Structure 1
Amino acid sequence: MTPSTEPPRYPPKPVPGDRVAVVSPSAGLPELFPLPYDLGLARLRQRYHLEPVEYPTTRKMGASPQERADDLHAAFADPTVKAVIATIGGDDQITVLPHLDRELIRAHPKPFFGFSDNTVLHAFLWQTGIVSFHGASVMCELGRPGAMARQTADSLRAALFVPGPYAVVPADRFRVVDVPWDDPASFTGEPETEPGHGWTWHLPDGAQQVVEGRSWGGSLEVLSCLLMADREIARDPAVYDGHVLFLETCEELPSATEVFRVLRNMGERGLLARFGALLMGRPKTWSFDRPNTPQQRDRYALEQREAVLRALAAYAPRTLAVFDVDLGHTDPQYVIPYGGVIRVDGQERRVTVTY
């Protein structure tokens, strides 16, 4: 068997009091925005009782791919470090891949947390045979203004410390509008949220009503880059048979046409129909560059859902799908085990992940 077809290999979990690596495999944005970063570090210490360990590029913008890979190697190889957490994402982590020592990391498996551009490292670890954890970066989730969202905080605690099943449920309230990180006033109160309206289930005729399998996916935009470069994608699409695909889109707000084209290309490659179920993250519908009105946000989300359904109808007509799951760039955010087991129960309308 290849690592991607072996049973999930969950790395040992840290315990309170342990040291955890804080790294910037994509962008060293803590250098530019220390307020959410320092708040995230404080919460690691005070709420989770973990001791963050920084590296030469953690707070350094413009670090080379080799420098960032060196920090990852140091973090995974250090026996006193029990987990690795990304500060934030970025857009060029794919350039770090050629510098990574797969055997070094395989020999020192540790839980890795991050999302967005960190999809690159998640896909690398999946191919290496190690389960990682999509979500909970230091600046975004741990550094959230006000208090951490309850669902995020509880999910992260379970993913960090508690092995076993964990129920993912629709958020009562959510947030898509960000606040400026360079303004201290942003951190003096709770950000505005809006009511949640549950998930939308797509149960096509002939679909398997209950799907349980390993997860694969992440940021749709980053997966598109990996597919284009043919990096960390299994050569044989059959290795994804029966797995659970999860996808989410970022603050760049890709158009419905772009989303459809990525999924269409996955379909043409023979990937899309391999998955028994799809969890589609609640779309990010607002950004500083595109401060959409509530009506524009609703229309954007609807058009994205229709694009996904169109791709499924063409390439994966028997795939069970759930929309608006809180697993991506919106708030709150559930941690999703990457390569771990997810159960999607269309009969009971339940989603359970295994940490």
Structure 2
Amino acid sequence: MQNRQFIYPNKVQVGEKIAILSPSAGLPEIFPAVYELGLKHLREEFKLVPVEYPTTRKMGSTPKDRARDIMAAFADPEIKAVICSIGGDDQIKVLKYLDPEVLRAHPKPFLGYSDATNLHFYLWNLGIVSYYGGAIMTQFGRYYAMDEYTVHSLRHALFQGGEYEITPTPEWSDESYNWNDPDTLSLRVPMFANTGWQWHNAERIVEGTAWGGCLEIIDYHLRAHRYLQPLEHYKGCILFLEASEEMPDAEYVYRVLMGMGERGMLQQFSALLMGRPKAWNFDNQLSSEEKETYKLEQKEAVIKAIEEYAPSLLAVFNLDFGHTDPQFMLPSGGHLRIDGIARKITMTY
């Protein structure tokens, strides 16, 4: 619904307090050095004051306890934004313990991605803009250095607001640091030249409200059907999708989109922004040739679903958000403008 109004939370000021939460996995307990480095960069690069909560450094916290920390952070007037330490795989269990009235009364910038898709959906349903990206242990806790492309986008999301034209990063990586091997943490992961975005059905201009996140978490919600809105709420919105480090195969990607299509949901969107596929992890270290095959098969699966369910849908592939590095922050609930003629994308932060 293009006429639906979303609230942009107030921006943060230098020196203010920021809640650091673990609404999913409490990995700061297992990898404290990586987490502490992320906090150091938050303090030194952004001049912000991190505030932790009881479950921030605790693995195995109950969903109810994690929800309690979320509510406390949003309700505290001294806390000006909320950033996830990292993702996980069960944040959907937290949502039933949240109080929507407290969140609606105290909108704040929320940053995170992957499993944080759950909280992005919850805030979207309340009409609150949030920012997909920027976890403490991955983007802030980068050992070699924080990537300037990421830092620039984070500054817009946290401090500046306004319209922001995103551009392809000059180089990128889908390979990761081994947090279990301290000797490698000061090295730079392999970086690859960016060949640019890929456009499909692009010869027009589309504007709309952003909705989306991690494909696997969207699959959770298609199955649970507890936090999805009536179809008309997505009419004219711009869908953004990316897959996690679990590297789902092309058939799975297609099936999720097929589920959206059979539900009548995929057809509601005016455009699709597809994040660059992560084609490498420690358990599945693909060669360069295997990576290209994996990425091509994923793109073909997406286009297959588009052609079956939404054949006129404008789509852009290989964008720099999600599980590859660096990343821009994508405003969930924010206004996007995709100019397929000029090959430009502008987001309102």
TM-score by length of 2: 0.98
Corresponding residue for residue 49 of structure 2: 51
**Contact 1:35/1:182, CA 8 A, preserved across alignment:** no
Corresponding residue for residue 128 of structure 2: 130
**Contact 1:145/1:191, CA 8 A, preserved across alignment:** no
**Contact 1:337/1:353, CA 8 A, preserved across alignment:** yes
Is residue 336 of structure 2 the alignment partner of residue 342 of structure 1?
A: yes
Corresponding residue for residue 279 of structure 1: 273
Is residue 15 of structure 2 the alignment partner of residue 17 of structure 1?
A: yes
Corresponding residue for residue 73 of structure 1: 71
- Give the paired residue count: 349
Q: How does 1:123-272 map to 2 (within 5 A)?
A: 123-203=121-201, 209-235=204-230, 237-272=231-266
1:256-300 residue CA offsets vs partner (Å, 9 max, x unmatched): 000000001100111111111100000010011111111111100
Q: What amino acid is the match of 1:53?
A: V
Q: What amino acid is the match of 2:28?
A: P
Corresponding residue for residue 305 of structure 2: 311
Offset, 1:197: 0.4
Q: What amino acid is the match of 1:163?
A: G
Between the aligned partners of 2:31 and 2:68, the Cα distance in structure 1 is: 23
Between the aligned partners of 1:76 and 1:303, the Cα distance in structure 2 is: 41
**Contact 2:178/2:185, CA 8 A, preserved across alignment:** no
Between the aligned partners of 1:53 and 1:10, the Cα distance in structure 2 is: 22
Between the aligned partners of 2:137 and 2:304, the Cα distance in structure 1 is: 35
Q: What amino acid is the match of 2:227?
A: E
Offset, 1:182: 2.3
**Contact 1:134/1:336, CA 8 A, preserved across alignment:** yes
Q: 1:121 aligns with which of 119, 142, 147?
A: 119
Corresponding residue for residue 93 of structure 1: 91
TM-score by length of 1: 0.96
1:57-82 residue CA offsets vs partner (Å, 9 max, x unmatched): 00000000010000000100000000
Offset, 1:220: 0.5
Unaligned runs of 5+ in 1: none
Between the aligned partners of 1:138 and 1:199, the Cα distance in structure 2 is: 27
Offset, 1:107: 0.7
1:13-40 residue CA offsets vs partner (Å, 9 max, x unmatched): 1111000000000000000111221111
Q: What amino acid is the match of 1:320?
A: L
1:302-333 residue CA offsets vs partner (Å, 9 max, x unmatched): 00000000000000101100000001100011
**Contact 1:35/1:184, CA 8 A, preserved across alignment:** no
Q: Secondary structure at the match of 1:287?
A: coil
Unaligned runs of 5+ in 2: none
Moved more, 185-194 or 297-306: 185-194
